[in-house]
Structure 1
Amino acid sequence: MRATGLSCGRGGMVLAGNLDFSLHNGQALLLRGPNGAGKTTLLLTLAGIVAPMAGNFVPGDRADMPLLHYCGHRNATKPRLSVLENLAFWATLNGPTGMAPSAALAIVGLGGLDSLDAGYLSAGQSRRLALARLLVSLRPLWLLDEPTAALDDQGHQLVSQLLAQHLAMGGLAIAATHDPITLPDATRLSTLVLEPIR
């Protein structure tokens, strides 16, 4: 992933401008900054959901992108579907190239809740279900918006473990977060601080 002179925003307003960064296989980038600095908009731009206002980046300007997972700050679950049905839907949609949904649920701490309607999950459990999508369909680039939101201490450790495993397989990750994220190999992690444009 490489960005040069990248500017992004919404409604004609630049939120993050003239950004230059690059990531190599096995590396993660943390996006830091106050609310409104453009972290989410940058992720949406890299995901191809919002058009860049200037500059360029690779990958991201391709139409055929089974390259990435975008895991937004909303969990995108269907409350009347079971936990397993939710995850199976995403596996079917994104391609079942990873582990089986039931195995992914066990890894994220939702084993045994397969048949429960997702609407009964707590906020932290819903977040764990969203993270399980990363495991059922393998994609090299993870774009994560507040991946630890609503998670307890064990959930924070889970996110670190999932990231470490993904990077060890040569994956890339960009995460917007206000929470600390640590990895066993700190050299795999860098930070980009975004400041609001006045």
Structure 2
Amino acid sequence: MARNRARRSARGNRQGLLLVGIVLLAAGAAAFAAGRGVFGADVAGGALLNDTVRGLLAAGWMPYAVVAVAFVAAFLALRWLLVQGFDDTVGRLVLERGAEGRVELPESVARSALEQEVADYPGVRRARARLTESAEAPHLRLALTLDDDADVAGVWRRVRSEALADLRRSLELESIPAVVRMSMTAPAKNPRRSLA
């Protein structure tokens, strides 16, 4: 089964934040311990830039090391930013695979048909769908914007019994895991009546 790219990205974010947090926590705890004299009175009462630190900073290789660390940090930050922008929507759906080849369908065709079908339901103002995960076993994310007086339960029943069933049949799948998010539009404001 194909792995969920969004989950991998979220897991990578959590692991990266955990690593940065551990490093900062360790540095803060070491500074606090040094200030409290845990490492000796000389360290607690000594200058921050003592002769050892000054000698290390004056070493000929230090500027190159700082530039190398800066490049690595910039590369990791840029990679993280690029991963945030990746869309996990599949480009093509595999309908059939065999020795002679495979039959594919653009994701946009299936998505557009589903959106059009659901948007025609009474009370649905807008429907936006995305097929994610993998080409062979897609998952559906469906966002619906409903009128303020829509029958939410009725819309949900039709989506489940009609739209999702039609999508499963057209893609020849036994099941499609789906997340359906519904939101209501604000009621239209009534203009004030003028008294004559």
Structure 2-normalised TM-score? 0.27
Q: Give the number of the structure with larger relative contact order, counting CA–CA contacts within 8 Å between residues 6 or more apart.
A: 1
Select the structure of larger CA radius of gyration: 2
| TM-score, length-scaled by structure 1 | 0.27
Q: Which structure shows the higher helix fraction?
A: 2
